[in-house]
Structure 1
Amino acid sequence: MAKQVLLVDDSEFMRNLLREILEEEFEIADEAENGVEAVEMYKEYDPDLVMMDIVMPIRDGIEATSEIKDHDPSAHIIMCTSIGQEEKMKKAVKAGADGYITKPFQKPSVMDAISDVLAA
């Protein structure tokens, strides 16, 4: 059975880009536009992996990661960051992020990050 992935980004373009990269090997559980939706959808779908943007409206990826990890400490979450967000990335790791990828996404780096996180 294909592993389920929840895509979380306030940019529809970025969600579509990730979907195109992942849909050959993974089932896309759903897509969230903010951290509030991400937490709700995580609880609904219990996906194998979450691809989480850091900067989003309503609730950012760091807060959502912390909430998801409080709900399920075994959750696998990869943060999606822009170059120059090192401080936010440190906070995300502290909140429980398992890995990260940098925008703009390239399929090999995305797949490597996923392999590393799911193998751990």
Structure 2
Amino acid sequence: MTPKILVVDHVKSLRGILRQIINKMGYDVLEASNGAEAIHKYRDNKPVLTTMDLNMPDMNGIDVLRKIKEFDPGAKVVMCSALEQQSLIIEAIHAGAKDFIPKPFHEQEMMETMTKLLVI
């Protein structure tokens, strides 16, 4: 069975871009458009990596990250956001995010970051 990567973003087009990148890398993709869906899909599928939008309508990515870390302390999560507020990036790292990628991201940068985390 091919390992899965969970893509969490409320913007469908960004999920599609990430899906293409991840498929090129040889992984299957799970998608979630909000925090509650992300927690459910993570719990049911235990992906090897998660990309998480920082800002979503129902709960922010940091809150979702904290909930996931409660039941899987080893979860590998990369936060993605157009916001470059240093305080939010620091908060995400303290909550357990493994890395942060600013939007708009470049395909090569995203692939390098994910590859680095997948081998750890």
Which 5+ residue runs of structure 1 have no aligned equivalent? none
Distance 1:35 1:90 in 2: 20
Match of 1:87 in 2: 87
**CA drift at 1:34:** 1.1
Match of 1:78 in 2: 78
Query: Quick one: percent identity of the two aligned structures?
Result: 34
1:41 to 2:41 alignment: yes
Which 5+ residue runs of structure 2 have no aligned equivalent? none
Match of 1:105 in 2: 105
**CA drift at 1:101:** 1.2
Which runs of at least 4 in structure 1 moved beyond 3 Å after TM superposition? none
After TM superposition, list the pairs within 5 Å mapping 1:1-120 onto structure 2.
Answer: 1-25=1-25, 26-28=27-29, 30-120=30-120
Indicate the SS of the match to 2:63: helix
The CA deviation string for residues 85-111 of structure 1, in whole angstroms up to 9 with x for no partner, is 322111111111011211112111001
Counterpart amino acid of residue 79 in structure 2: M
Q: CA RMSD in A?
A: 1.2
